Structure 1
Amino acid sequence: MAKLPTQAASACPCGGPRNYADCCGRWHDGPLAMQAPTAEALMRSRYSAFVLDKLPYLLATWHSSTRPAALEPNPPDLKWLGLAVKKAQVQDADHATVEFVARSRQAGRAHRLHELSRFVREDGRWYYVDGDLN
């Protein structure tokens, strides 16, 4: 009987070239949790966290000024289809933006989330602040 791959050995949901454990998984579960080195790395790890329902990670990486009190897990019929980073731009040492498109399907309908997200770095850690939908 063939052994099924574990989540850690599988491709990363963010679309990066490494497996999940070596890509976003190290930010989600490893000793370096919540320490993504760039705003783009944080954005990719947050996308993967949405895909995998890593709700505590999402809340912990959301800036306190805009963080919701709670998040709901994905509905059972939601399937995330992919992420495309369009542009990552550093404004200064502690501010950056990342433009991305995340695709999903729910109830047989395709959805496309196109956002320009704002990030801030405080005490050496990047946080998602908010974003504008395109």
Structure 2
Amino acid sequence: MAVDEATKKQDELELYQIDDKAIMPFFECHLEELKQFIQERRGQNLSLLELLKQFIRTYKLPFNMQRYMSVQTTYIKQVLQERMQDRQVAVSRWIQEHAGRHRNRMIQLQCLYLDRIKDKLLPEVEKMLEQRIENLQSKLDENK
């Protein structure tokens, strides 16, 4: 039980480290992939929020790669301080042992964070997708 409480507290701390300002630019940057991803799942009757979470889990991309790498560097430094090993070996070992788990944890936290901001996020993403579809339709109409 104590582990569960400690994990919850850690999750809460890490949720507040997600960069709010990076979320919409992330989806804008991956708009084509997102649009295709949503179209491929059109018959599944999933909400936009669930589709966004699936997209994040499928592509395993942090909202802010620069911040993600900075946090990962901090984790590596902490491990290096705890283990006084050759730096190259320690970094390589950390990556082998923790990088996948660290990325999966960050992706899960991003999905949890979408639940917190869904009321603001979903209308913005819907509008962005609609505009993209309209732009593509306009280009198709011009080429006819």
Same fold? TM cut 0.5: no
- Higher-strand-fraction structure: 1
Q: TM-score, normalised by structure 1?
A: 0.24
Larger C-alpha radius of gyration, 1 or 2? Answer: 2
- Higher-helix-fraction structure: 2
Higher relative CO (Cα under 8 Å, sequence separation at least 6) belongs to 2
Q: TM-score, normalised by structure 2?
A: 0.23
